[in-house]
Amino acid sequence: MGTEAAPKGLDSKATISIIKWMSRFNVAAYRATGGRIGGKWRVGSAFPWGIPVCLVTTIGRKTGQPRTAPLLFLEDGDKVVLVASQGGLPKHPLWFRNIQANPETTVQIKSRIRTMRARVASDEERAAYWPRLTAMYPDFDNYQSWTDRVIPVVVCE
């Protein structure tokens, strides 16, 4: 953890603002097209083929309002596995903090919407999922090396 320097400006206000606006656009496009647009992440190690994206809707822990985030995911049977990486930033993403307060979530994969309950993976589960997640998207290992926090793995079931 935290063995490599994060890219300069990763946690700048401008970068965080750009990420928020891109996420909002991604959510709108995904919803409007059932995931045909916005359903693949093609950045970093996912370029050019892309990694599937789902929409996770949580209830804001402060506002009580629905909050939706586009996230990379891994399906494991009926479970949907998520990574709370936030690109290796020092703090956990807001969606993760929301599920800690209220684990009831909605997960949309393409046009299928499911009500699920999210939980943090146990240490054993994280150890089993992490190699699969980094095989899918190797940048998760980079993100972990940029931060001192253990990046949580979340299981929705």
pLDDT digits (tens, 9 = 90+) for 37-69: 998 887 666 667 888 999 999 999 999 999 999
CA distance 145 to 40: 24
| pLDDT tens readout for residues 58-104 | 999 999 999 999 999 999 999 999 999 988 888 999 999 999 999 99
Residue 45 DSSP symbol: G
CATH class of 13-156: mainly beta
| pLDDT tens readout for residues 117-154 | 999 999 999 999 999 999 999 999 999 999 999 999 99
Q: What is the domain partition of the chain in residue ranges?
A: 13-156
CA distance 112 to 35: 10
Let me know: does 68 contact 54? Beta carbons within 8 Å. Answer: no
